[in-house]
A = this chain, B = another copy of it.
Amino acid sequence: MTTTSWNRHHILSLADFTPSEYNTVLQTAASFREVLSRRTKKVPTLQGQVVANLFFEPSTRTRSSFELAAKRLSADTLNFAPSSSSLTKGETILDTAKTYLAMGTDLMVIRHRDAGVPQAIATEMERLGSRVGVLNAGDGQHEHPSQGLLDLFTLCTLLDPGQPRWELLQGKKIAIVGDILHSRVARSNLWSLTASGAEVHLAAPPTLLPQLFASYGSAQGRQLHLHWSLEPALEAADFVMTLRLQKERMTQHLLPSLREYHQQFGITRDRLQLCHPDVKVLHPGPVNRGVEISSDLMDDPRISLISQQVTSGVAVRMALLYLMGSGKV
C-alpha cells in the first residue's frame, strides 16, 4: 500500500469530492482488491482499532460488507442493533453515538432513515474534540457515498483493471433509470459520475423524477439530462444503472402497478438493443427480479455487473476505512 495524501476526516457526501480524492479511493481500492484475491485476505492495517457499525435502519447486506471490510483490515467490530437498544429506552441518537465514542470507537459507520444524521454525529464528534471518523452508510434519501464510490470503481475497473481512474469515464453515456426521487444511491452517483465527465441521462416516470434534479448538473462542465421516458436515455448508452423500486411506492400512489412500471421502465434484453453493443447493466441490490430488470438479464455475466458491484463494495469500503483510519495517526 503506497501512502497517499488524504485529508478528509469524515465521508458524508460526494458533493464536494475532488478529482484527486476520487482517484485516491480508486487506487487504494485497487490495491485491496488484490489482497482479496489472495487465499489469506487480511492485512493488519487497523489492528486494535474499533469500527462501530451503527445501523439505526437495519441492513444485512451493507452491514455485512462494512463488517467484512473492517475485519479484513484486522479491526474489531461492534454492531449496534436498534431493536434491542437504548433507543427504545428514550436515549437520543447523539447520546448513543457518544456512548460508542466513550467506549473507544475509532470509526463509526452510520445508517439512518433520516437524512443528515451522520453529518449531525460527525459535527458532535468534532465539537467534543474527538478524532473519530464518521462514514455515512446511507442517510434517508440523501446520500450513500460508499455505494457511489463502489459503482465508480466497478465502472473504472472494467475500463482499466490495472489503473482505475475517473478520467476513464469522460464522454461515456450513462443512463440512470428508476426511482430517482427516493434514491440516495442515485444522488451519490450523480455527484461522482457528472464529476467524472460522464454524460448522465436520468429516466423515470414524472412522479419519480422531479425537474429539480437538473441542478446536479448545473456546475460547469457537468452533463446531465432528464427524460420522462426510457428510450432517449438508453440510446447508445455505455452503461445502464437501474435502481431499486420500493414496493411502498405503489401504496403512495406514485405508480400505477409494478407490471406497468416494468412495461415502461424495466430493463430487458430487447430494450438494450438501443444501447452501445457492449452495454453493461448495474443495480445496487437487492433486486426485484422482473420489475427493474428482467430476470435473465440479471443473470447474464456478459451484461450484468451486479456481482462485481458487491465485490467492489468490500474493496472500496476497505479503502475508505483505511484512508479514514490512517488519517488519525
Contacts and interface: CB of A to CB of B under 8 A. Distances in A.
B36 A61 contact: no
B72 A68 contact: no
A231 interface: no
Interface stretch (A112-120, A163-171, A189-197, A286-294): A286-294
B286 A61 contact: no
* Interface size range of chain A in the complex: 35 or more
Contacts of A307: 98-99, 101-102
A167 B174 CA distance: 65
Contacts of A182: none
A19 interface: no
A78 B103 contact: no
A41 interface: yes
A68 B64 contact: no
Given A80-B60, A84-B58, A90 B36 contact: no
B67 A78 contact: yes
B310 A99 contact: yes
Interface in A26-63: 36, 38-42, 47-50, 58-61
Contacts of A49: 39-41
Contacts of A96: 286
Nearest to A295: B92
Contacts of A205: none
Interface string A276-318: 0000000001111100000000000000001111110110000
A253 interface: no
Contact of A84 (B48, B59, B86): B59
Interface in A166-190: none
Given A41-B48, A47-B40, A329-B39, A314 B60 contact: no
A235 interface: no
Nearest to A58: B84
Contact of A104 (B50, B68, B247): B68
A115 to B, nearest CB: 20
Given A72-B76, A78-B67, A60 B84 contact: yes
Contacts of A287: 91, 95
B64 A80 contact: yes
A65 interface: yes
B76 A68 contact: yes
Nearest to A39: B48
29 contacts: A39-B48, A40-B48, A41-B48, A42-B47, A48-B72, A50-B68, A58-B84, A58-B85, A60-B81, A61-B85, A61-B86, A64-B80, A68-B103, A71-B76, A86-B286, A89-B246, A91-B285, A92-B289, A95-B285, A95-B286, A95-B287, A96-B286, A99-B285, A102-B307, A102-B308, A103-B311, A103-B313, A103-B314, A104-B311
Given A42-B76, A58-B83, A58-B85, 17 more contacts: A38-B48, A39-B49, A40-B48, A41-B48, A41-B49, A42-B48, A50-B68, A60-B84, A61-B85, A61-B86, A89-B244, A89-B286, A90-B288, A102-B307, A102-B311, A103-B310, A103-B314
